[in-house]
Amino acid sequence: MVTCAGCSCLCTDIVVKDKVFNACRRGASIFRNAENNKAKPKVDGKEVDFDTALNKAIELISNSKNLAVYGLDTVPLEAQELAIKLAEKKEAFIDDNSSFCLGDFVEMILKKEIPTTTLDEVKKNAYVIFYWGTDPYNSLSRHLSLYTYYPRAGKRQRGYEEDRFLVVVDVRKSHTAKLAKKNARFIQVNNDLELIDGFISALDGKAGNYFKDVSRIISEMKRADFNVIFGGLGLKYGLNSDYSRFLEMVNKMNEISNVYFLPAGFHANMRGFNELMFEKTGFVNRYSFREGKASKDFEFKNLILNDEIDTALIIGTDPLNSLPFEVARKLSKIKKIVIDPKNTFTARTADVVLPSAITGYDQGGTMVRSDGVRIEVEPLKEGDVSDISILKRILEGI
């Protein structure tokens, strides 16, 4: 069996033979299409041998006055460590997708501002399970079956029919919300803070917003000593970077029962990058080694919009495809070195392309699951060039 690095579930039970077994649609696609659309070593759009591309990358990075290192959420910890060393050596900016994804939640967990747990404990113990602003049916396809709503394990041997209570909070009736039928509640919100205020009012013994739903959920939470909230991007943006009322609600919930929080829905090793940065700097992302601090101004898209960088080292991500058009347009005008196994949109416009390996397919290493559990990933086969070997050679060359 091999590990799928398609998302932060990091499923370890994947079997790849003539067909792919146990994987979700996204995970199966990674293994089935691993040999398709592969990147080639290139300089200025022309195919060259790997060492020529590597030497050009070293030259661009060495000559850069304001370098940004970006991406890294799909590569192993060992490669992330080398990229952080490189950024430190060049006094560069470093950031990943968590700056506009769930990095704020991970930082609160690492600072111990909110109680958390592991997916294995959720599987054995959780009764009320919130999915708030996330749709795991599509974004983390095996989350519900492996760890939360459907498993029969530990104290929850009667499964979702009697031993789990599902709460889905979203602005629309997502596919996950459609599962909320028996032992479940779906709450459609226009404003997350209104629902949070509703919970706080009810916990204070007062009638407030969403009183009927909130009262029923609090009653269910009191039946168990283990409940969990999974928060997604919908919750993050609904709170608009002000987490004080949400933290107040979780603290009040913990006065009646044990309630834990876990982020849901990000890239395979985003939490790994956040943890390494936190150990090194005390921050999880948006960091400048020249300034010695983190700032919203150092978020990758803001660096580009404000013309703060002359060169970007982009590893395992495709920002031209994912960032807003005005950012992508400016990014296309600066020097770019792309390290990626695939010929992405960004790779097609890069000054230098260095093809790398796919974690779990032709590259191994250590990755960190969304709950902080470290997973050792074994490759299905050995590839030619790993992210680790590329970054090691660049670090030695600059």
Domain locations in the chain?
A: 38-101+268-397, 103-263
> Which residues are CB-neighbours of 314 under 8 A, at least 6 positions away?
70, 71, 336, 337, 338, 339, 340, 346, 350
For residue 278 the two structure tokens come to 């936190």
For residue 341 the two structure tokens come to 């196994």
Helix axes 270-281, 77-89, angle to 10 degrees: 40
Q: Enter the CATH code of domain 38-101+268-397.
A: 3.40.50.740
For residue 130 the two structure tokens come to 């919130």
Judge residue 77's burial from the number of C-beta atoms within 10 Å of its C-beta, 0-12 exposed, 13-18 middle, 19 or more buried. Answer: buried
Give the whole-angstrom CA distance, residue 44 versus residue 156: 58
Q: What is the pLDDT along the chain (398 residues), one digit of tens a residue?
A: 999 999 999 999 999 998 999 999 999 999 999 999 999 999 999 999 999 999 999 999 999 999 999 999 999 999 999 999 999 999 999 999 999 999 999 999 999 999 999 999 999 999 999 999 999 999 999 999 999 999 999 999 998 989 999 999 999 999 999 988 888 999 999 999 999 999 999 999 998 999 999 999 999 999 999 999 999 999 999 999 899 999 999 999 999 999 999 999 779 999 999 999 999 999 999 999 999 999 999 999 999 999 999 999 999 999 999 899 999 999 989 999 999 999 999 999 999 999 999 999 999 999 999 999 999 999 999 887 999 999 999 999 99
Can you give the pTM of this predicted structure?
A: 0.95
Helices (H), the chain: 25-32, 50-63, 77-89, 103-110, 119-125, 136-139, 143-146, 159-162, 192-203, 211-221, 233-239, 244-253, 270-281, 300-305, 319-322, 325-331, 345-348, 387-397
Per the CB < 8 A criterion, the answer to whether 117 and 262 are in contact is: yes
Q: For the CA atoms of the chain, what is the radius of gyration?
A: 22
Q: What is the reported pLDDT for 80?
A: 98
- Top-level CATH class of 103-263? alpha beta
Q: What is the reported pLDDT for 384?
A: 74
Number of H helices, E strands in the chain: 18, 18
Max CA distance (Å), the chain: 70
Give the whole-angstrom CA distance, residue 105 versus residue 325: 27
Long-range Cβ contact pairs of 43-52 (< 8 A, separation 24 or more): 43/351, 43/352, 44/351, 45/348, 50/354, 50/355, 50/385
Q: What is the reported pLDDT for 387?
A: 97
Q: What is the reported pLDDT for 383?
A: 80
| Burial 202-228, CB ≥16 within 10 A → b, else e | bbeeeebbbeebbeebbebbeebebbb
DSSP 8-state code for residue 363: B
Per the CB < 8 A criterion, the answer to whether 265 and 134 are in contact is: yes
pLDDT in tens, 76-111: 999 999 999 999 999 999 999 999 999 999 999 999
Residue 204: phi, psi to the nearest 5?
-90, 5
Give the whole-angstrom CA distance, residue 198 versus residue 325: 38
Query: Would residue 14 be called left, alpha or beta, if left means φ above 0 and alpha means ψ between -120 and 50 degrees?
Result: beta
For residue 348 the two structure tokens come to 């097609």
For residue 222 the two structure tokens come to 């009191």
3-state secondary structure of 347: helix
On the question of a common fold for 38-101+268-397 and 103-263, the answer reads: no
Closest CA to 369 of 58, 118, 1: 118
